[in-house]
Amino acid sequence: AWPRLEHLALGPFHGCRWPSKVTVEGLRAFQSCPNLKRVELALDATIATTPDDLSRSGGLCNKSLSTLDALQSTISDPRSLAAALMDMFPNLEQIEAWD
């Protein structure tokens, strides 16, 4: 992990021709970044998983992440996604996205 990382921005600022391949499961890597406060990253949240699969953090969580900018994410089940995000990032205050 990157212990000093505070802000991570991956992806385009003016749209993208290709959909993101980053899954919700991929966000688990950020649980090991203790100073990470903001992430800007498009997600592919269309993969069929159960809420239990998404919300199992094994007790590991990132308490410093407060903002997720999901850019142009594809989301099939917003409730399951919200549950998973709150499990991984309990102090998440703001989620941003755009069409």
CA distance 25 to 23: 5
What is the structure's pLDDT at 28? 87
Rg of the chain over Cα atoms, rounded to whole angstroms, equals 13
| 72 domain residue, yes or no | no
Residue 70 above 70 pLDDT?
yes
Q: pLDDT (tens digit, 9 = 90+) per residue, 8-38?
A: 998 765 556 677 888 888 888 898 899 999 9
pLDDT confidence of residue 20: 82
The model's confidence at residue 52, banded by pLDDT at 50, 70 and 90, is low
Structure tokens belonging to residue 53: 């699969």
Tally the domains of the chain: 1
Distance between CA 82 and CA 85 in Å, rounded?
Answer: 5
Sign of CA dihedral 15, 17, 23, 28: negative
70 in a structural domain: no
73 domain residue, yes or no = no
